[in-house]
Amino acid sequence: MAGAGNFPGLANNVSGRAACPLQPGQPCNLCHPDAYNGPQDCPLVAIVLDDDALREVMRVKRIEYRA
């Protein structure tokens, strides 16, 4: 299993399996390799969360996924 030492930007106190808020059930860093520490480092997540319309779409999708 990959450890924090394998990823230069990975913080020691952050799980390597942070969940992606845009792709339910998937780990964060699949769509942007620089998101070592999770969604807080992902530029795509930042764009979606900054746009009210996209944020609403993601809220609806998250509800559908959980149903």
pLDDT bucket at 21, cuts 50 / 70 / 90: confident
Domain membership of residue 61 (yes or no) is yes
* Whether pTM exceeds 0.75: no
Domain membership of residue 50 (yes or no) is yes
Domain membership of residue 64 (yes or no) is yes
Task: Look up tokens 């390597």; give the residue.
Answer: 16
**Interatomic CA distance for residues 54 and 58, integer angstroms:** 6
Domain membership of residue 12 (yes or no) is no
Domain membership of residue 4 (yes or no) is no
Domain membership of residue 46 (yes or no) is yes
Arithmetic mean of pLDDT, 17-35: 78
Question: Which regions of the chain does DSSP assign to beta strands (E)?
Answer: none
**Interatomic CA distance for residues 30 and 37, integer angstroms:** 12
Question: 39-67 pLDDT, tens per residue?
Answer: 888 888 889 889 999 999 989 988 888 88
Partners of residue 19 on adjacent β-strands: 27
Angle at alpha carbon of residue 43, lines to 37 and 48, rounded to 5°: 115
Domain membership of residue 17 (yes or no) is no
| Percent over 90 (pLDDT), the chain | 13
The number of distinct structural domains making up the chain is 1
Determine the structural domain holding residue 39 and report its residue range: 24-67
Domain membership of residue 10 (yes or no) is no
